[in-house]
């Protein structure tokens, strides 16, 4: 799909530089800003952060690729293990990697059709990645920012975008789900928010207000809004402003704070000291993003518990088992799931899935492969944490880094119409163009929101360094 609205794509053949990955020559392109942007050829000024636009293009490609690999791998074990008695109670361990996949809670005795064994799911060159709920609403938000030529989406733009691109259950063309209803790839708070928009005419943030949406503490916003962190590189303050309303479309309180934690992590990926070992980068980013979690919240206490147990030398399986006992069974730190009568003991809840994600983040220690493995085996809604960290680490290593991690090439095409509708080219897109649109959005953010500059001659952004001051969520 060609981008012809305001941001004309000019292919520039560049000599590879040390800042680009060795196999990323096909991404050595830049998106040409129009004259509405503040261009400069001046050198770096004190207090600025300078980021290569062409390198960022490569990183955004790595994000979409890493997230897709992790999403589809995590789907193999999604809801296989949620604790308790019965076949879904005993959690997987590291020894189960490569073993036969077990049925999910809704699998009716049938394992995943993605893979017979618990293993990575790849789409090779010439194939097409399919969208899922971990990628499709992020795709919608990027599309809305790009087509509306804005940095901050309005309530009406979000509502109209959801209703245009997300099918209702009655209109869905995707066939029947396990419960006999039409499948529209929406669950819990996303589904309720969509119903409130479509049937009751509500706009965000009313769609997440507890009086309207009892699912406001579910996981939904954690997997649909992380991308806003990448749209504001090195400026989590701007990223949080951009993500404010999208997060509150479906989430409040702990679910909102967890989603904001992920947004901050994604923005910090452009601020962290890249000379540090990757494990230390990840831990610095996590510790910094922790400031967004109010100390009284169960999200903060979950994070602190996992971090403390990690540094004690405990095995990740032991930490995961303790999380189950501490929160799903004992319901400590205000984690109340019984009174709210949540489906399957709260296995779609923000809290337990956020805690599980911190397990894979810390114990993966910055390795893309190991982080996805642990996230896939940890349990509950396993594809969500896997996709979140697969996207972050994919961004940090770029396209070539993802390929090197798995020692193979992957498909470039992406089918958003697997789960959503009404996009150009019958929904067939590709990671290169998706990354180009992301860069075009950042051009606008750097100038309009950050007061920065675009140095077209050197193909870089000059971003005012505001430091990292993160206020706790409220």
Q: If you write DSSP's letter for every residue of 88-137 in order, what string do you get?
A: TTSPP-GGGTTSBPPP-TTSTT---SS-SBS------TT-EEEP-TTTHH
**Among candidate residues 114, 135, 113, the one with its CA nearest the CA of residue 123:** 114
Residue 264 domain-assigned (yes or no): yes
| Listed residue (102, 99, 73, 74) closest to 88, CA to CA | 102
306 within some domain: yes
Q: What is the total count of domains within the chain?
A: 1
- Taken in order 14, 20, 23, 26, is the CA torsion positive or negative? negative
3-class secondary-structure state, position 313: coil
Give the β-pairing of 30-31 and 48-52: unpaired
Q: Does residue 342 lie within any of the structural domains? A: yes
Tens-of-pLDDT digits for all 474 residues of the chain? Answer: 333 333 333 333 333 333 333 344 344 445 666 556 666 665 566 689 999 999 999 999 999 999 999 999 999 999 999 998 888 889 999 999 999 999 998 875 556 678 899 999 999 999 999 999 999 999 999 999 999 999 999 999 999 999 999 999 999 999 877 666 789 999 999 999 999 999 999 999 999 999 999 999 999 999 999 999 999 999 999 999 999 999 999 999 999 999 999 999 999 999 999 999 999 999 999 999 999 999 999 999 999 999 999 999 999 999 999 999 999 999 999 998 776 655 666 788 999 999 999 999 999 999 999 999 999 999 999 999 999 999 999 999 999 999 999 999 999 999 999 999 999 999 999 999 999 999 999 999 999 999 999 998 999 999 999 989 899 998
Tell me the C-alpha distance between 132 and 183, whole Å: 12
Domain for residue 110, yes or no?
no
Structure tokens at 72: 């589809």
User: Is position 141 within any domain?
Assistant: yes
CATH number of the domain at 79, please.
1.10.4080.10
DSSP 3-state percent helix, strand, coil across the chain (nearest 5): 50, 5, 45
Distance, first Cα to last Cα, the chain = 41
β partners of residue 117 = 100
Per the structure, the complete domain to which residue 60 belongs is given by: 9-98+121-464
């Amino acid at each position: 799909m060609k981008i012809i609205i305001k941001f004309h794509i000019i292919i520039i053949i560049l000599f590879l530089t040390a800042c680009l990955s060795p196999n990323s020559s096909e991404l050595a392109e830049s998106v040409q800003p129009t004259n509405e942007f503040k261009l400069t050829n001046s050198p770096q000024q004190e207090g600025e952060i300078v980021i290569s636009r062409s390198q960022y293009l490569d990183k955004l490609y790595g994000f979409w690729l890493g997230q897709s690999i992790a999403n589809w791998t995590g789907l193999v074990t999604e809801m296989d293990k949620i604790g308790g008695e019965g076949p879904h109670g005993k959690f997987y361990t590291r020894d189960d990697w490569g073993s036969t996949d077990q049925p999910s809670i809704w699998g009716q005795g049938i394992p995943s059709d993605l893979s017979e064994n618990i293993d990575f799911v790849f789409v090779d060159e010439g194939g097409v990645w399919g969208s899922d709920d971990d990628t499709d609403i992020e795709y919608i938000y990027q599309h809305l920012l790009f087509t509306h030529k804005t940095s901050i989406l309005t309530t009406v733009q979000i509502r109209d975008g959801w209703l245009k691109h997300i099918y209702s259950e009655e209109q869905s063309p995707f066939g029947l789900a396990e419960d006999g209803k039409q499948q529209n790839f929406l669950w819990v708070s996303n589904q309720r928010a969509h119903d409130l928009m479509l049937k009751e005419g509500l706009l965000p943030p009313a769609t997440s207000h507890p009086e309207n949406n009892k699912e406001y503490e579910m996981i939904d916003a954690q997997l649909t809004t992380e991308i806003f962190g990448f749209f504001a590189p090195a400026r989590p303050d701007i990223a949080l402003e951009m993500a404010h309303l999208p997060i509150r479309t479906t989430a409040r309180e702990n679910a909102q704070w967890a989603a904001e934690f992920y947004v901050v992590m994604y923005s910090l990926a452009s601020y962290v000291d890249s000379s540090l070992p990757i494990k230390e980068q990840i831990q610095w980013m996590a510790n910094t993003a922790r400031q967004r979690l109010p100390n009284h919240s169960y999200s903060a206490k979950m994070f602190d518990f996992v971090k403390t147990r990690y540094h004690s030398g405990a095995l990740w399986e032991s930490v995961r088992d303790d999380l189950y006992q501490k929160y799903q069974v004992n319901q400590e730190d205000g984690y109340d799931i019984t009174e709210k009568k949540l489906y399957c003991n709260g296995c779609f809840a923000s809290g337990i899935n956020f805690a599980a994600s911190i397990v894979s983040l810390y114990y993966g220690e910055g390795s893309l492969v190991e982080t996805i493995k642990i996230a896939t085996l940890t349990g509950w809604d396993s594809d969500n944490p896997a996709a979140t960290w697969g996207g972050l680490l994919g961004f940090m290593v770029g396209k070539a880094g993802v390929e090197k991690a798995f020692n193979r090439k992957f498909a470039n095409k992406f089918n958003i119409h697997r789960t959503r509708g009404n996009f150009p080219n019958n929904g067939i897109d590709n990671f290169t163009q998706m990354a180009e649109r992301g860069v075009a959005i950042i051009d606008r953010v750097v100038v309009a929101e950050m007061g920065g500059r675009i140095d077209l001659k050197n193909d870089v952004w000059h971003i005012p360094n505001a430091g990292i001051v993160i206020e706790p969520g409220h």
